[in-house]
Amino acid sequence: MRRRAAILAPVVRLLHAVEQRIDAWRRRRISRGELDLVVYAGYGTATMSLVRGRVLRHRPVLPMRRTDSWLRRGLATWRRFTTDEVPGIDVTIHDGAAQVTVTTDEEGYFVARLAGAVGQPCAGWREATCSLLAPGPGALVTSFAAVRVPAPSGVAIISDIDDTVLRTGTLHPLQLAYTWLLTNAFGRGAMPGVPALYAALRRGAAGIDDRAFFYVSSSPWNMVDVLTQAFALLGIPRGPLVLRDWGLSADALLPTDHHEHKHTAIAGIMECYPQHAIVLLGDDAQHDPEIYAGIVAAYPQRVAFVGIRQVSRRAARAASVAAVLAQIRATGTAVAYGGADALTHGLRTAGLIAASPPPAA
């Protein structure tokens, strides 16, 4: 692994240098009214907010339609991944009486953390106002970021997306490529049983809760609109998405690896809500069991349940996942492994959803 990294290092540095030159050329083309301030759903409490976003050179977006041809879907994907990011732009975020100004990084991203007298303390959703002054003569660009505020205590759910919530085909390269490149929100399907199970989990054992969901994935931020719209179409509970920057860095093809990204993102959410018991949901296609085991070890007595959907059909993988879950169970955390029925049974046994199926909506 180290030898391969050493061989790839000069190539990565060259690609990064080329990307930097292209970005510099693109920035020289930016003029008044040509910036898009893209904001992502964030999360917070009565005393803090975390808001993410990105500044891009304006480019018309192709709206998604159920009748889109494969050519139009492919063109839309091309546009998502060939954005002109704008680094070094100051973005000001307001939430209630709190305000902070941050600067976009080399890929155009920003992360803002606000503390103090932020918006309304009640659970639900609130809005943070994000604004920037475009270069040149100056044009004010404003967007509104939705911020999820859970109840002060209770249960919060952190879920993977690919092959946990949505069918993606992570283990099948051709299916994975088709899903990402040629499928829009209308073509994405839910994993079996997910809409009903997640709705029951949101309502809780008494059926009256409104638990917060957070979705952590290594999918690129470029796909956030597809994922968000697919969730709405399929009836998946709304929640902030924490995805990954797929831009080149000076040292690697991706700024963070899969394991590091997911562990850091989950840890950040858990530290924001120390009074909440956490439910972790994932699958065995990649490394969710191992990542979740690390989280359970790092945050003793915080994780109430770990549920892993079985996607892989390899006996060796099933055995390794069972061993990891046995270690988690030994800490006192409830676990389940299998399909929708196994996860539902595990959640009911743990007292996290109603004892009987909820009535049809």
Degrees (nearest 5) of the Cα angle 116, 122, 127? 65
Mean pLDDT check: name the lowest of 15-24, 190-199, 207-216. 15-24
Q: Select from 143, 93, 142, 140 the least CA-distant residue to 118.
A: 93
In the chain, domain spans: 31-149, 154-349
Res 29: pLDDT: 54
361 — pLDDT class (breaks 50, 70, 90): very low
Q: Which helix (H) or strand (E) holds 226?
A: helix 224-234
Residues 6+ apart with CB under 8 A from 36: 55, 56, 57, 58, 59, 141
Q: CA-CA distance, 50 to 39, in Å (whole number)?
A: 11
Q: What letter would DSSP give residue 166?
A: B
Please, are residues 207 and 358 in contact by the beta-carbon 8 Å criterion? yes
For 184, the token pair is 């829009």
Domain 31-149, CATH class in plain words: mainly beta
Q: CA-CA distance, 356 to 348, in Å (whole number)?
A: 8
This prediction has a pTM of 0.89
Res 62: pLDDT: 87
In angstroms and rounded to an integer, the radius of gyration of the C-alpha atoms of the chain is 21
What is the bridge-based pairing of β-strands 140-149 and 124-133?
Answer: antiparallel
- Coil vs helix vs strand at 143: strand
Q: CATH topology of 31-149 equal to that of 154-349?
A: no
What is the bridge-based pairing of β-strands 98-103 and 109-115?
Answer: unpaired
Residues 6+ apart with CB under 8 A from 151: 123, 209, 210, 211, 212
Give the tens place of pLDDT for each residue, 17-30. 555 565 555 555 55
Average pLDDT value for the chain = 89
Phi and psi at 343, nearest 5°, equal -65, -40
Q: Hunting for tokens 């391969």 — which residue is that?
A: 4
Mean pLDDT check: name the lowest of 120-124, 173-177, 247-251. 247-251
Q: Which whole number is the average pLDDT over 270-294?
A: 97
Q: Select from 275, 264, 326, 272 the least CA-distant residue to 301.
A: 275
Res 250: pLDDT: 46
Res 59: pLDDT: 85
Res 32: pLDDT: 44
Q: Note the CATH architecture for domain 154-349.
A: 3-Layer(aba) Sandwich (3.40)
Give the tens place of pLDDT for each residue, 297-346. 999 999 999 999 999 999 999 999 999 999 999 999 999 999 999 999 99
Give the tens place of pLDDT for each residue, 73-109. 999 999 999 999 999 999 999 998 899 999 999 999 9
Res 324: pLDDT: 98
If one counts every other C-beta atom within 10 angstroms of the C-beta of residue 213, the result is 23
Angle between helices 315-329 and 288-298 (to 10 degrees): 10
What is the bridge-based pairing of β-strands 48-57 and 90-95?
Answer: unpaired
